[in-house]
Amino acid sequence: MKPYKFGFWLQAAVTLASCLFIAVPMAYSVLSGLMRNAFLGLRGGLTFQWVEQVLSLYWPTILLSIEIALLCLVATALIGIPAAYALARAPGRLARLAEEALILPVAVPGLATGLALVVAYDGWGDFRQSIWFILAGHVLFTLPFMVRAVLAVMASADLQTLEEGAASLGAGFARRFLGVVLPNCKNGILAGALSVVTLSMGEFNLTWILHTPLTKTLPVALADAYASMRLEIGSAYTLIFFIMTVPLLLALQRATKPRAGEKP
Amino acid sequence: MAPSRLRLAGLALPAVLVFLGFFVVPFGIFLHVGGQGAHGWAGYALALGDARHLQSLLATFILSVLVTLATLIVGGICGLFLGRHEFPGQGLLVSILTLPLAFPGVVVGFMIIMLGGRQGLVTQLSLALHGGRIVFAYSVWGLFLGYLYFSIPRVVLTMLAAARGLDAALEEAARSLGAKPFEIFRDITLPALRPALVSAAALTFATSMGAFGTAFTLATRVTVLPMMIYTDFTLTTDLSSVAALSLLLGLVSWAALFLARSLTGAGVAASG
């Protein structure tokens, strides 16, 4: 394989350039949020004033996003894990069709789904203006990720044999589900949960259409800040968003890392 | 010990209700309301024949195709390179490249402003180097780079998995038989990567067609279809064109993913 040829270095250069393309704006945005004056750059000195200002201006949106993400996690777990089990154990065409239908809310752009929801629930004043309306949209959009993550693990674990063993020892369905099925798809649930929370916290396209002035999530207010606030405020707000989501994304990368040699 | 059908149906019921109540029925109502405008059901035909809409559809389509091609090349190279070599820091590079996977479109747009906006890095550098001011964020190039930004992670992830599944013995055999590197790539590597390339292409294309947040933040003069739909929605009370274009957009995005899934296997998009 050695010595390394021209092609190797070209590939390495493209890879490195792509990494810079992704990372440099992130780094510059983080710095701008901490600089006294972004145009002066580091010469102007560093400050926490913008971060503090963002926290005092936008604290409710940060709380709301965390609240919705956690509610979304609970809802998708309660709804999605049983659904994944049903898909794993129901053989045949109906299950494949259901799986196909399940992906629809992710395949169709959030903007279109948001408009359909707003038009359909137009007359439902209280629900329309509550956080439950946004939660409904987020559950719809993140549910497929929970179901697919859990289903993938269930498909590789031999549930049937495990359950037969438990049943032969006299375990009823509830006992088997809680004591055998759930522990065996722990990793799938973890990966699904991380996806759901990260996606919910970052969801914009759908939420922008669904939100009202009283139900602004972080990404929605972030768009406002980009449009109407000075660059340093937008950057500081983005920094807070990174602090909230990047650790989750890194944990997700860990949880779903394909092991070497594993077929896709 | 197969669970009874009734029990399985019961377990799936909440998911089915969510799907019906917040997806199927709303789209049904949306479709119906769209047909109640000034022109009735003919409003759908009018909306799809409108020159402004067609222009936007065409622009979005061309942009999505170009972004898909560019990302397949760039992301494909990154994925192959990182999937086939082991070196210190490799994990870090993979992490960086897949990080924007769950960034909302607005943040991606802001990243492009950070690079090429009025106070962007490239702008400041160009000012310092030769006094010229290069602002590209709000042009079609800014839009293109933004779409590239959120597409790279999706393609890299798909290609990385595919590269790890490649059979090195095949390439070794070809090499020992005297095949040149380009021939090996064309005849062995590329065909093995075809399913991954198709699924990555569909994913990128579908995400690009439906992307809203990035275009929203960059407010480019090129009106992509989602922006056109949104503007129509805020400006008019006649929902026929909004419904028609939304349904068209949904159909195109879904069809691309469906086609890829039936050709290859997997593929789910996320926001852009």
Read off the tokens for A62.
């940060």
Q: Which residue of A has its CA nearest to B152?
A: A18
- pLDDT, one tens digit per residue, over B136-170 is 888 899 999 999 999 999 999 999 988 888 888 88
Q: How many domains does chain A have?
A: 2
The CATH code that applies to domain B51-263 is: 1.10.3720.10
Q: CB within 8 A of B203, min separation 6: which ones?
A: B154, B155, B158, B257, B260, B267, B268, B269
Residues A39 and A112 in one domain: no
Name the residue range of residue A194's domain.
Answer: 48-255
* Residues of B in Cβ contact (< 8 Å) with A263: 165
Residues A93 and A211 in one domain: yes
Residues A95 and A40 in one domain: no
Residues A168 and A54 in one domain: yes
Residues A92 and A187 in one domain: yes
> What's the mean pLDDT in B18-40?
89
Domain boundaries, chain B: 51-263
Alpha-carbon distance B25 to nearest alpha carbon in chain A (angstroms): 8
A14 touching chain B per CB within 8 A: yes
A3 touching chain B per CB within 8 A: no
Task: Specify if A168 maps to a domain.
Answer: yes
Residues A79 and A185 in one domain: yes
The amino acid occupying position A1 is: M
Q: How many CA atoms lie within 13 A of B200 on its CB side?
A: 31
> What's the mean pLDDT in A18-29?
95
The whole-angstrom separation of Cα A57 and Cα A63 is: 12
The whole-angstrom separation of Cα A192 and Cα A187 is: 8
Residues A42 and A53 in one domain: no
SS3 A35: strand
The whole-angstrom separation of Cα A222 and Cα A234 is: 7
User: Is A54 in contact with A237 (CB distance < 8 Å)?
Assistant: yes
Residues A39 and A59 in one domain: no
Least confident window among A60-69, A166-175, B89-98: A166-175
Q: Is the dihedral of CA B209, B56, B216, A30 positive or negative?
A: positive
Burial class of residue B238 in the structure, from the number of CB atoms within 10 Å of its CB (0-12 exposed, 13-18 middle, 19+ buried): middle
- Enter the pTM of the model: 0.89
- pLDDT, one tens digit per residue, over A148-202 is 999 988 888 777 788 888 888 877 888 888 878 888 888 899 999 999 999 999 9
CATH number of the domain to which A219 belongs: 1.10.3720.10
Alpha-carbon distance B44 to nearest alpha carbon in chain A (angstroms): 16
- pLDDT, one tens digit per residue, over B206-216 is 999 999 999 99
Of the candidates A80, A145, A202, the beta carbon closest to that of B104 is on A202
> Apex CA A193: angle with CA A190 and CA A198, to 5°?
125
Residues A18 and A134 in one domain: no
Residues A53 and A43 in one domain: no
Task: Specify if A260 maps to a domain.
Answer: no
The whole-angstrom separation of Cα A37 and Cα A56 is: 20
Residues A37 and A127 in one domain: no
Task: Specify if A229 maps to a domain.
Answer: yes
* Residues of B in Cβ contact (< 8 Å) with A121: 26
* Residues of B in Cβ contact (< 8 Å) with A174: none
Single out the residue in A13, A32, A47 at which a domain terminates.
A47
Task: Specify if A263 maps to a domain.
Answer: no
Task: Specify if A262 maps to a domain.
Answer: no
ipTM of the complex: 0.89
Residues A42 and A169 in one domain: no
